[in-house]
Every structure is written in structure tokens, then in C-alpha cells.
């Protein structure tokens, strides 16, 4: 390697192609699109694999989410209190079953009644709220913005009506798909607990097992890569679920205190929608805003106060404590990822876009840093900047 670096005379091929950054970047881009083209041509071979993967994905995904929630407690009890993992897992399963029974018997009947009433009365609520907005716009001082707001309300009403009609027609025209969905949900609920049990029991052995398949000289770095990916996923899943839970709790308390109709159903909706970063809470706030407008001006003010208090507590206390900046993503990057992923994969892209981006970011950054250290394309100064360990070792010397 040192002899190669000392060479001063290089051929045109070495200078402009072999050791030229721009040429290497173009070659890598070409190879990337070539791989995509090849996979597109052999898609008929990959279709069975995709069908198999899509069949096992729902129970596996549900088990993984529950694993990241329950595994820290299992590890703590095993390492600090020497409690066998199997005993802890069985006790956790019993506790979860008891909580589910309590929710089914207590919360679900209340929430179900409010949700059914909200769905039944939503057209009237929307009409009454739009009428209230139109009544407010009759003020001569708002005449300049009346036409714009009126068009926005009409467009939103048409969009909601068209979306609801399309969904209703699709549901009626796809009975087979509905049966398949019910079957998939049933199989997921039946198989996910078994997958979760063995993941909690043997999941800590998975990383050493996978690492053994890597070459000997890459096993340490490959194990670190798997650790970073696991840490990023665990941080994101635990953080999002924890924040969503407390958002639902805060809205349920706030809506109950101010006496907002359908408060529990709206709070549950806000908790679920909070799984979508940045936009979820605001989307879930639209029904609450419409209902408060329909009720009275004082109710609208109370709901706005509840929303401001919730946003303050979430942004200043809960999110920094729970999430922090573990994914090291700038807010602009997060928003762009959400917009791009939603346009490509819809709702699934909104939910899984950020964790997939975090995994790809870890993999690409590690591959790039390895390439900078090993390639002759970068000079010594670039290599020192790319590898922090080099500077540390030199300081130690």
C-alpha cells in the first residue's frame, strides 16, 4: 500500500479512471441502476418470494414491536436480579393478557360507543361546522378573505365526500379482499405471540449468530453495524409508542376536563395519529376543531387551550426525554422523507419511512467510511478526517 502511494508516475487510466473520484461515483451509479434493471427483468422469479415475505410480515412486525417494548425489562431482570428469562416472559404475557381483558371490558365499550356515534354524526358535525365558519365570514371585515376560505371549505368537503364514497364502493366491490384481510388479522393475532415468545427467549443470541457468517476480519465491524441498526430501531419504536401513549392520555384528560363531545374517541385517534411524526397530531386535531366549532365559541377556545398545553408538554418535556435526537435526523430531513415515502408507498411509507431511512443511513455511512479508509482515491488528509480513530491513535502516540 505504501509503495503504491509513493508512486508519482501514473498512467492515464489510473489517473482519470482508476483513482478518480468522479469516475468511480459514475461507475457506482451505473451499477446501482443496472442492478435495479436486472431485478426488474427477473421480477417473475421474485414474485413468489415477495408473496412469502408479505405473508409473514404482519405477525413478524407485530412481534418485533412488542419485542422492543418488553425486551428491556426481560434483560434487566435477568442481569440484575438473575430471574430466568422464561419465567419473566411468562409473567409478562400474563400481565399483558390481564391488561387486554381489562381494556376489552372497560375502555373498548366506552370508546366504541363514542366512535360509532362520531362516525354516524360526522356528516352533520361537518355541515354544522362549515355553516358556523360561513356565518363568521359574513362579517364585512373578512370580506376580502371570504372567497378564499369558502373555496377551501368546499374543496375539503368535496374531497372528504369523494374519499368516503370511494372507500365505500371499494369495500362493497372487494368482499374477497375483506375476507382475506380478516383471515390475515386472525393469523397475525394467533402467530405473533409465539414469535414474540421465542424472540424474547433467544433474541439476544441472534446478533452473535448472524455475525459468524461474516468473514473473520469483518466480524467485529459487522457486529457493530448490527448493534447500531438494532439500537436505532429500538429507540425509534419505543420512543414513538411512548410519546403516542402520553399524547392520547393528555388529550383524553384535556377533552374530558373541558367537556368536549366524543373526547375519548378523539384522544385515541390523536394517540394513533401521533405515530406519524410532525403531522399526525395536527391531522387528528381537525375533527376536534370541527366539533368544538359546532358546539360553541367557548368550547373552541377551550379546545385550542388544550391543544396548546399538550403541544407544549410534548415538545418541551416528553419528546426530549423519550426521543432526544437518537436518530440524528434534522427536522427538514424527516419532513422530506415523510413526503417522499408517502407519495411512493402511501400510509405504509409514512409509518416505516423514517426507520428504513435510519437503517440505510447507518449502512451507507459505514460502507462509505470503510471505502475512504481503504481506497487510494482519497488522500491521507481525507482519510484522517473520515476516521476519528486515526486522530485518537496519533494523539496517544
Note whether residue 282 is domain-resident: no
Residue 350 lies in a domain: yes
Q: Considering the domain boundaries, does residue 109 fall inside one?
A: no
Which ranges of 203-330 does DSSP label H, i.e. alpha helix? 206-211, 219-258, 263-273, 280-295, 297-313, 319-322
Please give the chain's pLDDT, 397 residues, in tens. 444 444 455 566 566 656 667 777 788 788 888 888 887 777 777 777 778 887 888 888 889 988 998 998 888 888 888 888 899 999 999 998 998 888 878 777 777 777 777 777 777 777 766 776 666 666 665 555 555 555 655 555 555 555 444 544 444 444 445 456 667 777 777 888 898 899 888 888 888 888 888 888 888 888 898 898 888 888 888 888 888 899 999 999 999 899 888 888 888 888 888 887 777 788 888 888 888 887 788 888 999 999 999 888 887 888 777 765 566 677 778 778 878 887 777 777 777 888 888 888 888 888 888 777 776 666 555 545 444 444 444 344 4
Asked, for residue 185, whether it belongs to a domain, the answer is no
* 249 falls within a domain: no
C-alpha cell at 388: 476519528
Backbone angles phi, psi at 214, to 5 degrees: -80, 155
Per-residue pLDDT, 251: 92
Question: Residue 305: what pLDDT?
Answer: 92
The pLDDT assigned to 11 comes to 64
Domain that holds residue 332: 327-388
Kindly compute the dihedral angle of the four CA atoms of residues 111, 114, 119, 121, in this order, to the nearest 10 degrees. 180
Q: Scanning the structure block, which residue is given the C-alpha cell 417473475?
A: 44
Residue 281 located in a structural domain: no
Task: Please say whether the beta carbons of 254 and 246 come within 8 A.
Answer: no
**Radius of gyration over alpha carbons of the chain, in Å?**
27
Q: Quick check: is 382 in a domain?
A: yes
Domain count, the chain: 1
Q: C-alpha cell of 295? A: 358546539
Instruction: Tell me how far apart the alpha carbons of residues 338 and 350 are, in angstroms, rounded to a whole number.
Output: 5
> Quick check: is 224 in a domain?
no
How confident is the model at residue 250, as a pLDDT? Answer: 92
Residues whose CB is less than 8 angstroms from the CB of residue 317 and which lie 6 or more positions away in sequence, other chains included: none
Those residues with Cβ within 8 angstroms of residue 314's Cβ, 6 or more apart along the chain or in another chain: 243, 246, 247, 250, 281
328 in the Ramachandran plot: left (φ > 0), alpha (ψ -120 to 50) or beta? left
Residue 264 in grid coordinates? 375519548
- C-alpha 124/C-alpha 291 separation (Å) is 10
DSSP code of residue 105: I
Amino acid at each position: 500500500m505504501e509503495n503504491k502511494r509513493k508512486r508519482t508516475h501514473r498512467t492515464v487510466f489510473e489517473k482519470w479512471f482508476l483513482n478518480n473520484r468522479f469516475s468511480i461515483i459514475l461507475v457506482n451509479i451505473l451499477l446501482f441502476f443496472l442492478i435495479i434493471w436486472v431485478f426488474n427483468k427477473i421480477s417473475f422469479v421474485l414474485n413468489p418470494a415477495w408473496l412469502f415475505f408479505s405473508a409473514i410480515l404482519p405477525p413478524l412486525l407485530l412481534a418485533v414491536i412488542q419485542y422492543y417494548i418488553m425486551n428491556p425489562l426481560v434483560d434487566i431482570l435477568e442481569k440484575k436480579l438473575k430471574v430466568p428469562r422464561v419465567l419473566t416472559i411468562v409473567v409478562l404475557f400474563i400481565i399483558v393478557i390481564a391488561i387486554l381483558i381489562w381494556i376489552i371490558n372497560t375502555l373498548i365499550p366506552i370508546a366504541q360507543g363514542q366512535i360509532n356515534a362520531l362516525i354516524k354524526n360526522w356528516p352533520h358535525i361537518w355541515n354544522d361546522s362549515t355553516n358556523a365558519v360561513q356565518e363568521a365570514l359574513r362579517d364585512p371585515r373578512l370580506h376580502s378573505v371570504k372567497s378564499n376560505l369558502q373555496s377551501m371549505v368546499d374543496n375539503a368537503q368535496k374531497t372528504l365526500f369523494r374519499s368516503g364514497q370511494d372507500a365505500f364502493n371499494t369495500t362493497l366491490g372487494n368482499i374477497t379482499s375483506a375476507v382475506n384481510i380478516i383471515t390475515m388479522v386472525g393469523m397475525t393475532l394467533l402467530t405473533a405471540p409465539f414469535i414474540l415468545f421465542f424472540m424474547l427467549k433467544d433474541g439476544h443470541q441472534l446478533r452473535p449468530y448472524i455475525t459468524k457468517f461474516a468473514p473473520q476480519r469483518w466480524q467485529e465491524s459487522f457486529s457493530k453495524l448490527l448493534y447500531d441498526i438494532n439500537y436505532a430501531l429500538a429507540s425509534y419504536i419505543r420512543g414513538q409508542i411512548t410519546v403516542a401513549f402520553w399524547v392520547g392520555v393528555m388529550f383524553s384528560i384535556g377533552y374530558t376536563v373541558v367537556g368536549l363531545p366524543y373526547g375519548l374517541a378523539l384522544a385515541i385517534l390523536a394517540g394513533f395519529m401521533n405515530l406519524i411524526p410532525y403531522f399526525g397530531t395536527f391531522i387528528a386535531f381537525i375533527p376536534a376543531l370541527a366539533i368544538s366549532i359546532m358546539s360553541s365559541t367557548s368550547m373552541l377556545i377551550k379546545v385550542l387551550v388544550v391543544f396548546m398545553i399538550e403541544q407544549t408538554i410534548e415538545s418541551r418535556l416528553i419528546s426530549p426525554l423519550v426521543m432526544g435526537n437518537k436518530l440524528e435526523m434534522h427536522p427538514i430531513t424527516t419532513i422530506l422523507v415523510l413526503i417522499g415515502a408517502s407519495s411512493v408507498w402511501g400510509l405504509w411509507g409514512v409509518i416505516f419511512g423514517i426507520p428504513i431511512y435510519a437503517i440505510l443511513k447507518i449502512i451507507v455511512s459505514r460502507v462509505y467510511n470503510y471505502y475512504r479508509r481503504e481506497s487510494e482515491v482519497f488522500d491521507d488528509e481525507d482519510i484522517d478526517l473520515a476516521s476519528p480513530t486515526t486522530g485518537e491513535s496519533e494523539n496517544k502516540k
